[in-house]
Amino acid sequence: MKHQTTVERKSDRELVVTRIFDAPAHLIFEAWTRPELFKLWWVPKSIGLTLLSCEMDVRVGGGYRLVFDWDPEPIAFFGKYLEVTPPVRLSWSNEENQDGSVTTVTFEEVDGRTRVVVSDLYPSKEALDEAISSGSTGAFPEQFEQLDELLATLGAGA
């Protein structure tokens, strides 16, 4: 059974995504911090993008870099890990944009199920408003028009 994914604009500068998983927190943490697992789900097949490379140095101050195949040239997403506390908390910066957010994920396990909360905290209300009005979809830039269309048609049931 699929669990509901909810998104809420928690404040002027924060977006929060919440979802329950039928798995213990340590497995989700593992899937989030081992590149060979991470790349299996971070870019779902339905989105039709190719991840060319995925480097993750998961420790405080360590960097990550994701490169997507794109025309005319590949697009990189990068930043640093700010907090790495297995299996309860993971935080990183998004530095590909000047006013990028800081993403913090918390994993709360209860009876073998885990509630995952992803918070995207922007430096200002203007930065989040700008992300919204430019149509960039959070972790993906506005160039990904195909993604835009895809998301518009993708089953809303999930």
Instruction: Give the burial class of 128: count Cβ atoms within 10 A of its Cβ; 0-12 exposed, 13-18 middle, 19 or more buried.
Output: buried
Cβ proximity to other proteins, 28 vs 66, nearer residue: 28
Cβ proximity to other proteins, 72 vs 98, nearer residue: 98
Per DSSP, helices labelled H in 11-144 are 25-33, 35-41, 125-133
Cβ proximity to other proteins, 7 vs 52, nearer residue: 7
The minimum distance between CB 133 and other proteins, in angstroms, equals 7
Determine, following the binding rule CB under 8 A, whether residue 88 of this chain makes contact with other proteins. no
CA distance 41 to 88: 20
Among 54, 82, 88, 151, binds other proteins (CB under 8 A): 151
Among 52, 57, 83, 135, binds other proteins (CB under 8 A): 135
Determine, following the binding rule CB under 8 A, whether residue 154 of this chain makes contact with other proteins. yes
What is the length of the chain? Answer: 158
Whether 8 contacts 16, CB under 8 Å: yes
**Which window, 32-40, 67-75, 76-84, 100-108, contacts other proteins (CB under 8 A)?**
32-40
What count of other Cβ atoms lies within 10 Å of the Cβ of residue 7?
Answer: 13
